[in-house]
Homo-oligomer: A and B are copies of this chain.
Amino acid sequence: MNETRSAASGPRSPADQSRHASTRERLLDAAERLFGEQGFAATSLRAVTVEADANVAAVNYHFGSKEGLLRAVVERTMAAVNGERLRLLEELRTSGHQPTVGELVRAFVLTGARLVERSGERGTDVARFLGRVMSERDPAIRRLFGAEVSPVEGRYLEALQAALPQLPPDEVGFRYRSMVGLLGLYQSGVLTDLHPGRAAVATTANTDAERLITLLTSAFHAPPTTDPVAPAEGAPEHC
């Protein structure tokens, strides 16, 4: 309860969840869960090492620093998400027709959800962790995340631009970044909570994912932004 170690001498028995995984893997699992739960800055390295049943210095040995640990967790998780996104995009492109905006948005948003399903027990941890990292404002973390998603980003931007030929590339980029940011906020739980009135919470996740897809699809279909000075304002009103 007190300090750096919980079981130093004897064979540790309580909550030995990831049985004989390596120290490295146990550190990654613990960091993913705690970073997702409490955030990066709020999670102490000592809390991670206690949960992973390892020493504080093991983090520095395996990952160099706390940020190195974060980078490793991001890489491990994003590898799966990136693969899934590219696979879905290929699937759409080889289906005979140009992918629509709605299809692209749906594929992008649901990738996170599918990853969560496949991750089983650790699913919600992964979702919260990804959401947090996705909309992080720390420049260092943003760079690290950006480097991880850039291969997929280019492909999606191409496909979105092809589906929205009337929009200037700058505007497609702006809306794409809005999608990434909003998905991050959604996955970190920012858009979900705060309405305590209702009872049904079980289906909220799926419903909100669909709401997000609806919202984003309509956002992409907005007309090109007009001049900053006194725009017509009624433009999207007609439909």
**A199 contacts the other chain (CB 8 A):** no
Residues of B within 8 A of A138 (CB): 39, 42
**A170 contacts the other chain (CB 8 A):** yes
CB distance from A88 to the nearest CB of B (A): 14
In the complex with contacts A39-B137, A225-B207, A215-B178 CB distance below 8 A: yes
Question: Within the assembled complex, what's the spacing in Å between the Cα atoms of A195 and B113?
Answer: 28
| B-contact bits for A127-168, CB 8 A (1 contact / 0 none) | 000001001011000100010000000000000000000000
> Which stretch in A9-17, A49-57, A115-123, A180-188 binds the other chain?
A180-188
CB–CB A208/B178 < 8 A? no
CB distance from A223 to the nearest CB of B (A): 7
**A21 contacts the other chain (CB 8 A):** no
In the complex with contacts A225-B207, A237-B221, A137-B188 CB distance below 8 A: yes
CB–CB A170/B195 < 8 A? yes
Residues of B within 8 A of A223 (CB): 214, 218
CB–CB B208/A221 < 8 A? no
CB–CB A175/B215 < 8 A? yes
Question: Within the assembled complex, what's the spacing in Å between the Cα atoms of A177 and B211?
Answer: 12
| B-contact bits for A184-227, CB 8 A (1 contact / 0 none) | 01001111001100100001001111111111111101111111
Given A173-B195, A217-B233, 8 more pairs with CB closer than 8 A: A42-B138, A100-B233, A106-B233, A135-B135, A146-B194, A182-B182, A210-B226, A218-B222
